Amino acid sequence: MQAQAFKKVHLNDLHFNYRMWINQLAFYKEELKIFQKRLEEVAPRNTNQDFRQQLGHFQNHLVIQNEQLDILKHDIKGLENVLERQAQANPQHVTEMTFQNDGQIRERMETFVRLYDELKHDFMRFLATWL
């Protein structure tokens, strides 16, 4: 998806997006914990070399996905803090405030979701194949 380059966005709209993304990331974080727990449950069941390689692959990808999630969440919270400071500095103009939105954080969130969905699909296929 193409970025909405330098579009003016109202503070409330940005705040809404940021809160939605933070909630979405919290859901993914919990789901990653479930996936990790499932790997720990199935690992002892199979000693096949191909299974072990794929198991390691998914363990690594879950770690990477968790790290990327944490980075994205941190960055979104940083942007949310900027909005909060602006609102506190100009409380009488909160409903009128607009910000330049280059779309970069939206693109990062969309990329994360796409990669997460691919990982989840591959993980479910892995489980279906080996269990």
State how far the alpha carbon of 85 is from the alpha carbons of 9, 20, 78, 88, in Å: 16, 20, 11, 5
pLDDT at 3 over 70: no
Q: What is the percentage of the chain residues whose pLDDT exceeds 70? A: 92
Domain positions in the chain are 7-130
Q: Could you report the per-residue pLDDT of 43-67, keeping only the tens digit for each?
A: 998 889 999 999 999 999 999 999 9
Render pLDDT for 76-131 as a digit per residue (tens, 0 to 9).
999 999 888 887 887 776 677 677 776 899 999 999 999 999 999 999 999 999 88
Residues 6 or more apart in contact with residue 116 via CB below 8 angstroms: 28, 65
| Mean predicted lDDT score pLDDT of the chain | 89
pTM: 0.85
Higher pLDDT among residues 96 and 72, named by residue: 72
Residue with tokens 């009488």: 92
